[in-house]
Amino acid sequence: MSAHQGVEVRQVGQAADHASERHPMAGVLGAAGIIGPILFTVGFIVQELFRRGEYSPLAEPVSALEAGPNGWVQQVNFVVFGLLTIAYAVRLHRGVRPTRSGVVGSAIMVWTGIGLVLAAVFPLREDAAGLTYDPTGLHVVNGMIFFLSVGVGLVVMSRRLAGDARWRDLATYTLATGITLLILFVASGVLVGPDDAPLHRWGGLAQRLVLLVWFPCTIVLALRLLRVERARPRVAR
């Protein structure tokens, strides 16, 4: 790249930054990417502590907390996390330099937030024998789409991050996280999901491994988003 082209690229980047000035709520929306995973994790861990003896975090997914008399607590947990995820994804879209197809990754990330809300709208329930089941069948379908979308969204978003100097150093980490989540999705579908799968009784542990990979990446991106937002000029009043 010539010196003249380098100057043009910097000028375009500066113009993009000033064209997207900092909104007063930008910091709050960016922080949603930090608050959401932490609040959600605390929420389901506290429930597990209160339901020891009737709920196994190693064998059962987080969604199984929706079953039982106090299942509404986990439904609220899903909705809050979903709304925070949507807010964060929208602000992340605004915080990364736009590209022709850049909206795709952001749209998928918004969908993950919607998927969390749908997990509450179509909850798991407990039958008379105390067994957890999916009364509509939609919870399981939504869950499969959700976990696939988490990985795909990060892979697609990583390509957009690579084109922005402020985010480029996180592109490889984001891509690696997305690929890892896709591998875990496929592995879980084969080794955990089916009733006769060899690791079926460890379904809860497998799901928590996914969260352990996904949540740190979300928080790291949200922290960078806050730094990017602080560097923007404020909207004039």
pLDDT-derived band of residue 7, with 50, 70 and 90 as boundaries? very low
Indicate the domain borders of the chain.
Answer: 24-230
**Residues 128-141, mean pLDDT to the nearest whole number:** 92
Over pLDDT 70: what percentage of the chain?
A: 86
What's the CA angle centered on 186, arms 181 and 189, to 5 degrees? 120
In this predicted structure, what is the pLDDT of residue 128? 84
In this predicted structure, what is the pLDDT of residue 233? 66
Residue type, 17: D
CA distance 137 to 218: 29
Q: Pull the structure tokens for residue 40.
A: 């959600």
In this predicted structure, what is the pLDDT of residue 213? 98
State the average pLDDT for the chain. Answer: 88
Contact by Cβ (8 Å): 23, 226 = no
Give the sign of the dihedral formed by CA 167, CA 172, CA 177, CA 183.
positive
CA distance 224 to 119: 29
Contact by Cβ (8 Å): 58, 205 = yes
Q: Which residue has the tokens 């709050």?
A: 28
What pLDDT digit, counting tens, does each position of 174-190 carry?
999 999 999 999 999 99
In this predicted structure, what is the pLDDT of residue 22? 54
What's the CA angle centered on 20, arms 16 and 24, to 5 degrees? 155
* Predicted TM-score (pTM) of this structure: 0.87
With 90 as the cut, is the pLDDT of residue 123 above it? yes
